[in-house]
Amino acid sequence: MTTSTNPSVLRTDSVLRTDSVLRTDYERAVANYWNTNRQDPVNLRLGELDGLYHHHYGIGDYDTALLDLPDETRDEAIIAELHRLETAQADLLLDHLGDVRPADRLLDAGSGRGGTSLMAHARFGCEVDGVTISEYQAEFANEQAAAHGVADSVRFHLRNMLDSGFATHSLRGIWTNETTMYVDLFELFAEFSRMLAYGGRYVCVTGCSNDVTGGRSKAVSRIDEHYTCNIHPRSRYFAAMAANGLVPINVIDLTPATIPYWELRAESSVATGIEDPFLTAYREGSFHYLLIAADRV
Ligand code: GPP
Ligand code: MG
């Protein structure tokens, strides 16, 4: 075959790099969503408060006195409170990584704008790698690591978490903070199992549909549609872990702890319209917010 018959030779290096990371049209659509969704006050206004930019939700009770503040200060105070609740969620996730030492290595699978990775490095002092299929997110997160002065220890890569290229048994811990609804869980956990050291820990925070109430509810479908994702049923997480040597040590239903976050977010100027489907899905019981911590055996 001559190279002139291959259209890819006409493309730029960056497109070729992206093509090797994105394997399907679906993955390209997801990357496009995160590459182009750059004006998202619900994430930027919160992150700019302290340089921890999150792409996950919050847990814990909010200060109800905020709702009675005068108009001039109310919205700003609500935004700060939402950020506090999101950071509390990431802190809880990190609590479940176990005894991580400075010489260990961690992977943030689906690292977004990097907030949880920066918190992990600040807590454990170890190297952290994040992978994302969004070039924009990888670049943004690397800029944040530099701004925090930790770019030599916290690095973000344009890579697919289904094939992230880290060495076999090289990682002490891996987490996914609300990213598993974009991938096949059996494929994902096979890759995690390969990369984790024996006795290493995987921590997953996710929203999952409820097998007990049956098929996908309308509210869950609206969430999928909003984020271009495919929320998995709860059972699939445990089946895919069991099939890949990941043995749960803790399972926490965070649903009651996340409802206040959504109630407060609905009161804020940064609400996006997805608040009602989340509140409906959680309250009707068709959807759960779960933390699962599992050991690699
Ligand atoms: C990320 O949060 C949300 C997701 C990755 C998808 C769906 C998650 C579920 C638990 C179903 P975000 O911070 O980017 O969302 P938003 O912009 O709405 O705050
Ligand atoms: Mg958000």
What's the CATH code of the domain at 83?
3.40.50.150
Q: Which residues in 139-150 are b (16+ Cβ under 10 Å) and which e?
A: ebbbebbeebeb
pLDDT tens for each residue of 255-285: 999 999 999 999 999 999 999 999 999 999 9
Q: Is residue 6 part of a domain?
A: no
Q: How far, in Å, from the CA of 1 to the mean position of ligand 1?
A: 44
Q: Work out the pLDDT band at 134, boundaries 50, 70, 90.
A: very high
Query: How many domains are there within the chain?
Result: 1
Burial class of residue 165 (count of CB atoms within 10 Å of its CB; 0-12, 13-18, 19+)? exposed
Q: Is residue 85 part of a domain?
A: yes
Q: Is residue 30 part of a domain?
A: yes
Task: Tally the C-alpha atoms within 13 A of residue 218's C-alpha that lie toward its C-beta.
Answer: 2
Q: What is the mean pLDDT of residues 64-69?
A: 96
Q: Which of 44, 114, 128 is nearest to 82 (CA)?
A: 44
The reported pLDDT for the residue numbered 19 is 75
Q: How far, in Å, from the CA of 61 to the mean position of ligand 1?
A: 20
Q: How far, in Å, from the CA of 230 to the mean position of ligand 1?
A: 12
Residues contacting 10, CB < 8 A, separation 6+: none
The reported pLDDT for the residue numbered 14 is 56
Q: Work out the pLDDT band at 9, boundaries 50, 70, 90.
A: very low
A 10 A CB-CB count for 281 gives 27
The reported pLDDT for the residue numbered 15 is 58
- The single residue listed with the structure tokens 């190297």 is 127
> How many Å is the Cα radius of gyration of the chain?
19
Q: Residue 205 CA: which ligand 1 atom is closest?
A: 10
The reported pLDDT for the residue numbered 20 is 81
Q: Which domain, by its residues, includes 137?
A: 24-296
Give the DSSP H or E segment for 262: helix 255-266
Q: Work out the pLDDT band at 93, boundaries 50, 70, 90.
A: very high
The reported pLDDT for the residue numbered 17 is 59
Q: Is residue 10 part of a domain?
A: no
Q: Is residue 236 part of a domain?
A: yes
Query: Is pLDDT at 107 greater than 50 in this prediction?
Result: yes
| Shortest-distance ligand to the CA of residue 177 | 1
Rounded Cα–Cα distance for residues 184 and 46 (Å): 30
The reported pLDDT for the residue numbered 6 is 47
Query: Is pLDDT at 4 greater than 80 in this prediction?
Result: no
Token duo for residue 198? 């024996």
Q: How far, in Å, from the CA of 142 to the mean position of ligand 2?
A: 19
Q: Work out the pLDDT band at 291, boundaries 50, 70, 90.
A: very high
Rounded Cα–Cα distance for residues 192 and 174 (Å): 7
Is residue 114 within 8 A of residue 143, CB to CB? The reply is no
Query: Is pLDDT at 1 greater than 50 in this prediction?
Result: no
Q: Are strands 105-109 and 171-177 parallel, antiparallel or unpaired?
A: parallel
Is residue 263 within 8 A of residue 283, CB to CB? The reply is no
Q: Is residue 2 part of a domain?
A: no
Q: Is residue 1 part of a domain?
A: no
A 10 A CB-CB count for 42 gives 18
| Shortest-distance ligand to the CA of residue 46 | 2
Give the residue whose CA is nearest to atom 13 of ligand 1: 55
* Residue among 57, 78, 223, 280 to mutate when testing ligand 1 (max atoms within 8 A of CB): 57
Q: Name all residues whose Cβ lies below 6 A of ligand 1.
A: 40, 42-43, 55-56, 178, 181, 206-207, 223, 227, 229, 231, 272, 274
Give the residue whose CA is nearest to atom 9 of ligand 1: 207
Q: How far, in Å, from the CA of 150 to the mean position of ligand 1?
A: 26
Give the residue whose CA is nearest to atom 14 of ligand 1: 55
* Residue among 34, 39, 43, 268 to mutate when testing ligand 1 (max atoms within 8 A of CB): 43
Average pLDDT, the chain: 94
Query: Is pLDDT at 190 greater than 50 in this prediction?
Result: yes
Share of the chain above pLDDT 90, in %: 93
Q: Is residue 282 part of a domain?
A: yes
Q: Residue 42 CA: which ligand 1 atom is closest?
A: 19
| Shortest-distance ligand to the CA of residue 55 | 1
Query: Is pLDDT at 3 greater than 70 in this prediction?
Result: no
* Residue among 55, 182, 287 to mutate when testing ligand 1 (max atoms within 8 A of CB): 55
